[in-house]
Amino acid sequence: MKETIYNLFAFVNDGIITEVGIAPREYYNPIDTEKDEKTAEEFLARHAGEDLPGAAVYNVPDNYLITDFLSPEDDLTPGMPYRVYQMMAEKGNHEFIGIYENAFEAVSAPLRPFVHYSIVEGNKIIHQHI
């Protein structure tokens, strides 16, 4: 059974994630009754580096705001501190997935897509996780 699975990228600049990327991949799932998640995860991880340059890039949604307390206007910027993202991922709390909302909508992803996450800094993947 063919399905679309997704490589996701969080772009970190100065410790803040302000953009995310998405690269859909067609995947042939040889087991029609249940996803072979380990094989699919390995497939996405193996292709993350080649998917990065062609990934469609989107801003983090406006409901994720960071305040610049040093600015006289208390500027608000859409984004998520990378450290917050890391802590959620390490605890298995996938609430950070909301930062990918614009990307999912743009590609009409299903409600619960199969994904692989990569953290990108300076155009290089520095970390990958599920």
pLDDT in tens, the chain (130 residues): 788 999 999 999 999 999 999 999 999 877 654 557 888 899 999 999 999 999 999 999 998 988 877 666 667 888 999 999 999 888 887 788 899 999 999 999 999 899 999 999 999 999 998 7
What is the predicted pLDDT for the residue at 33? 47
- Reference 114, options 19, 38, 13; nearest CA is 38
- Reference 17, options 106, 116, 126, 90; nearest CA is 126
Number of domains in the chain: 1
What is the predicted pLDDT for the residue at 74? 65
Q: With the CA atoms of 86, 90, 92 and 94 taken in that order, what torsion angle do they form, in degrees rounded to the nearest 10?
A: 10
Q: With the CA atoms of 2, 40, 109 and 82 taken in that order, what torsion angle do they form, in degrees rounded to the nearest 10?
A: -170
What is the predicted pLDDT for the residue at 72? 67
54: Cβ contacts below 8 Å, ≥ 6 apart: 23
**This prediction's pTM:** 0.89
Rg over CA atoms, the chain = 16
Range of the domain at 59: 2-129
CA–CA dist 95, 57 (Å, integer) = 20
> 100: which DSSP letter?
G
